[in-house]
Amino acid sequence: MENYLEKYKSLELREFPAHQDKAIGFFSRMGFPTSRNEEWKYTNISPIVSTQYASELPVVQLTAEEILNRFPFAATGIRIVLENGKLNTNASDLGNNESGIEILSLAAVKKSPAVQAHYNKYADVQEDAFAALNTAFVNEGVVIRVPGGAAIEKPVYIFQVASSQEQAVISHNRLLLVAEKNSSAKISCIAVSKNETTESFSNSVIEIVTEENASLEFDLLQNENEKSCMDCMLPAEHSWSTTTLQFIIRNHIATAMNFIKALSAEKLTPFSTAKFSLRRMHRKQTLTRATRTSC
């Protein structure tokens, strides 16, 4: 933990200083969870805690051709590529959109009404160490806004790609998805390693907001290599809307533990694939989490 506190002190850029200073304070108080924590007793995070991750991330280098060769289905949709948490505009196809859907850099629109209203409002940074760590270190991310009344026919694909070189990397992926009134969209987030030699920890927070009568399908696929770990928190706020969340998590190590934490049900349920719908929830916050560690 001390390593992260020291890194934070030397952090030169802070796009959200008020949020970041509070978050590192919460992380300092909590520290990393252990098996003594009820919610984590079946999950070994020692590979995350014991690994020394690189302070500087590798230069963004993925190309559109690499993404499309690996995922040819993405050619027909709206493509967003995050490489080690940074928006890769060259590999992305942000112009292949319709109906006014907005896909923007989080830092570039940090003063917009959507970001001001929703950013870091639902992630439990006071009680969740990984959410606090993400919030403390994140300076980049993506905001997706589906305008009111828009029906987005093309699927939206978000590729979270972990890429390392000589040293393992940690990336703090941050997404804010806002589906406004009477809108509809299908969004898939696909977390992968660039190759089999990549060693990484992807610490992700995806905040989802669906306004009145909005319909959003969000799919999360985790399929990194054996050397990689991922923690993903998906806090969501729903206002009389329909939201479907589907998780498909692939194990590479038999002892890896995958689980979804559903606070709305107040229970911890381990499984490899889950699908459920949240309907007619008036201003109710629901938190889910998907975690995979190679241990």
- DSSP readout, 228-293? EEEEEEEEEEEES-EEEEEEEE--SSTT---EEEETTTTEEEE-SEEEEEEES-EEEEEEEEEEE-
Residue 251 or residue 208, greater confidence: 208
Of the pLDDT bands very low, low, confident and very high (cuts 50, 70, 90), residue 242 is low
Residue 286 or residue 179, greater confidence: 179
Residue 187 or residue 266, greater confidence: 187
Q: What pLDDT is attached to residue 82?
A: 92
For residue 248, give its domain range: 2-292
Residue 252 or residue 120, greater confidence: 120
Instruction: Please give the Cα distance from 225 to 222 (Å, whole number).
Output: 10
Q: How many CA atoms within 13 Å lie on the side-chain side of 82?
A: 28
* pLDDT for 152 beyond 70: yes
Residue 211 or residue 22, greater confidence: 22
The model carries a pTM of: 0.81
Our count of domains for the chain comes to 1
Q: What pLDDT is attached to residue 96?
A: 56
